[in-house]
Amino acid sequence: MPLAIMIFGIAGAFVTTAMSSTKTLAEVPGYRFVSLADPCHEEQMCSTIFTENICTAGSQNLWGKEDPNVNVCNVPLYRITN
């Protein structure tokens, strides 16, 4: 019996940690277009997980980068939900 409780406790801790890691991986910087000199200006954290709420800063939609090393922002992002 104590062994079963210990196994369930370890499994629960693992699942909780895995869920937290998935949420962190889904959060990425959101960028807005400012000018040709600053096409991807970082604003706030957004999510890659689809929701009906687009990630925005003021009235501007925010976008993500496919490649963090390239200054092109064309990936749709969504508002982070709690």
Q: Residues 26, 47: contact at Cβ < 8 Å?
A: yes
- Residue 59: predicted pLDDT: 94
Tell whether 25 is covered by a domain: yes
Angle at 66 (CA atoms; ends 63, 69), nearest 5 degrees: 105
Strands (E) located in 1-82 = 27-32, 41-47, 56-57, 60-61, 63-65, 73-76
pTM score of the predicted model = 0.68
Domain assignment of residue 81, yes or no: no
Looking at the structure of the chain, the number of domains it has is 1
Q: Is residue 29 part of a domain?
A: yes
Q: Report the pLDDT value the prediction gives residue 81, as an integer from 0 to 100.
A: 85
pLDDT for the residue 2: 59
Q: What CA–CA distance (Å, rounded) separates 58 from 25?
A: 25
For the segment 6-61, what is each residue's pLDDT rounded down to a tens digit? 454 554 544 444 444 455 669 999 999 999 999 999 999 999 999 999 999 999 99
User: For residue 53, what are the domain limits?
Assistant: 2-76
Q: Are 33 and 55 in contact (CB under 8 A)?
A: no
Q: Is residue 82 part of a domain?
A: no
pLDDT of residue 19: 45
- pLDDT value of position 47: 97
Half-sphere exposure (Cβ direction) of 44: Cα atoms closer than 13 Å: 14
